[in-house]
Amino acid sequence: MAGILSAIKLTEAGFTDVTVYEKADRLGGTWRENTYPGIACDVPSHLYSYSFHLNPDWSHPFSPGQEIQAYLEQVARDHHVEGLIHFGEEITTCAWNDRRWHLDTVTGHQNVADFVIAATGVLHHPNYPEIKGLNTFVGSVFHSSRWDHGVAIDDARVGIIGTGSTAVQLVSAVVDRAKTLSLFQRTAQWIMPQENPAYRAEERADWSRNPGKLQHLHQTLSELFTSFANGIVNAESPEMAMIADLCRQNLETKVTDPELRERLRPNYRAACKRLVISPNFYESMQRDNAELVTDPIDHIEAGGIRTGDGRLHALDVMVLATGFKVDAFMRPMSVIGRDGRDLAQVWSDRPNAYLSISIPEFPNFAMINGPNGPVGNFSLIEVAELQFGYIMQLVDRVHSGQCREISATQSATDQFESERVTAAAKTIWSTGCRSWYLDDRGIPATWPWSFDRFCAEMERPKLEAFELRP
Ligand SMILES: Cc1cc2nc3c(=O)[nH]c(=O)nc-3n(C[C@H](O)[C@H](O)[C@H](O)COP(=O)(O)OP(=O)(O)OC[C@H]3O[C@@H](n4cnc5c(N)ncnc54)[C@H](O)[C@@H]3O)c2cc1C
């Protein structure tokens, strides 16, 4: 998504020497890799679209992953950037030498660039749980982002480990097909109710004929999500109270068995973890063949999962819906900045960057969806477009000859990080839950201010925060 965006915008701006490196054999990133049953966008599709390429044909308000994949491929085709992509070329090293970036790929190709944009994703490296005996299981086991379509789910005894957005989508998609479905829950989730009826053909035809209406819909959704994102950074905001009410009502009204209801009730505040949205998770968990397992997993053995109470949950298929290593970013790619400075060392405690975009002493290098940026229940396409607009202004400084090297100063980066950490303590993500937003210190690794502030910050780089070398 971010690589295609960059290629389109750079080409439109007249850059003729743009290369996109993609280690896989197909574009799409997240949407290429995550093909599990039930995968769908959980922000509205008309918002999860490039602002310059809206799509009248989304089938649902929250469309399936395969449609998003097809959309990204269509956008790349329509904007003629497919030819810029070198597939099967993983960048292994990116080193600043003689005032330019020297790139090495896994196949032995080399290239030299004046400016590098790392659009390598954030939910990209699967997180495999460390559970004793995992490799002794004789059935099929795979991570949700590595779905094995050769494995039969129909009439199988399926176990899902994890309760994030992926697990919730999976439960609803698999429960009617599996013989039994066991959901292994470490932490209960607040679930926001969701309506997702297919769009009617007339609605889609109308958007097709009237691009202004489609633009208006995109704008309305953007404003709605901006107000939501503004509210979420303040744990005491009315938006948070409203979300908490909706989630509580959803649980109270949809789960009829009081014992199950209590086991599904989180013991932390709604939106402390990334909000999970589902039209039918609770209904699915009340099907006769579904079981919520809350006894902790003790170990895995040949026949299935043994929980702490001594019970063996016999399984044919085990799905690890255990998320991603969210602090890897472009690593394991080796990035060597000015004077041999190794990013692996600079980030040895944890990743960090000025405004999540620029790293001191790594000139002419910028990240989209980099560390501590806005993540949450809003469109990362919108975020990437704003970040790209900012990065383009850095590229322009170099391209127009105002400087040859540009990177954030250490003092601006340190000050930003210190203010960010202070602000993060006041957000809903700091109110006492364990989540992938939290870093090793328990501090949310996210943009902790309003979305309005993020938009304002992305409008124009403050040049005093940058070192420009002639
Ligand atoms: C299951 C799931 C559901 C999601 N749902 C939503 C949602 O509803 N709304 C939302 O806003 N976001 C959602 N996200 C987040 C999603 O990741 C982003 O929206 C978006 O797709 C990220 O795009 P990206 O281009 O930044 O990164 P990615 O899609 O991760 O793409 C990065 C690309 O870089 C390539 N790459 C990485 N390293 C190298 C290298 N060294 N050399 C060459 N190529 C490399 C990868 O192969 C990949 O193709 C979801 C994520 C997941 C996993």
- 91 phi/psi in degrees, rounded to 5: -80, 125
Q: In this predicted structure, what is the pLDDT of residue 34?
A: 98
- Using alpha carbons, list the distances in angstroms from residue 385 to 6, 50, 119, 358, 369: 9, 8, 12, 16, 10
Q: In this predicted structure, what is the pLDDT of residue 328?
A: 86
Sorting pLDDT into bands at 50, 70 and 90, what band is 287? very high
Pocket lined around ligand 1, Cβ cut-off 6 Å: 1-3, 21-24, 29-30, 34, 39, 41-43, 48, 90-91, 119-121, 123-124, 166, 330, 333, 368-369, 379-380
Q: In this predicted structure, what is the pLDDT of residue 260?
A: 98
Query: How far is the centre of ligand 1, averaged over its atoms, from the C-alpha of 7 (Å)?
Result: 16
Q: In this predicted structure, what is the pLDDT of residue 37?
A: 98
Which one has a higher pLDDT value, 274 or 211?
A: 211
Sorting pLDDT into bands at 50, 70 and 90, what band is 191? very high
Q: Which atom of ligand 1 is nearest to the CA of 330?
A: 38
Query: How far is the centre of ligand 1, averaged over its atoms, from the C-alpha of 304 (Å)?
Result: 32
What tens digit of pLDDT does each residue of 104-163 get?
999 999 999 999 999 999 999 999 999 999 999 999 999 999 999 999 999 999 999 999
Query: How far is the centre of ligand 1, averaged over its atoms, from the C-alpha of 368 (Å)?
Result: 11
Amino acid at 192: M
Which one has a higher pLDDT value, 229 or 458?
A: 458
Q: In this predicted structure, what is the pLDDT of residue 3?
A: 98
Sorting pLDDT into bands at 50, 70 and 90, what band is 25? very high
Q: In this predicted structure, what is the pLDDT of residue 232?
A: 77
Q: Which atom of ligand 1 is nearest to the CA of 324?
A: 53
What tens digit of pLDDT does each residue of 349-401 get?
999 999 999 999 999 999 999 999 987 767 999 999 999 999 999 999 999 99
Query: How far is the centre of ligand 1, averaged over its atoms, from the C-alpha of 448 (Å)?
Result: 22
Which one has a higher pLDDT value, 243 or 49?
A: 49
- Given a contact cutoff of 8 angstroms between Cβ atoms, the answer to whether 231 and 377 are in contact is no
Q: pLDDT at residue 164 above 80? A: yes
Sorting pLDDT into bands at 50, 70 and 90, what band is 43? very high
Q: In this predicted structure, what is the pLDDT of residue 13?
A: 97
Overall average pLDDT of the 321-343 stretch: 95
Q: In this predicted structure, what is the pLDDT of residue 239?
A: 86
Q: pLDDT at residue 235 above 90? A: no
Sorting pLDDT into bands at 50, 70 and 90, what band is 88? very high
Q: pLDDT at residue 414 above 90? A: yes
pLDDT > 70: percent of the chain: 100
Query: How far is the centre of ligand 1, averaged over its atoms, from the C-alpha of 413 (Å)?
Result: 25
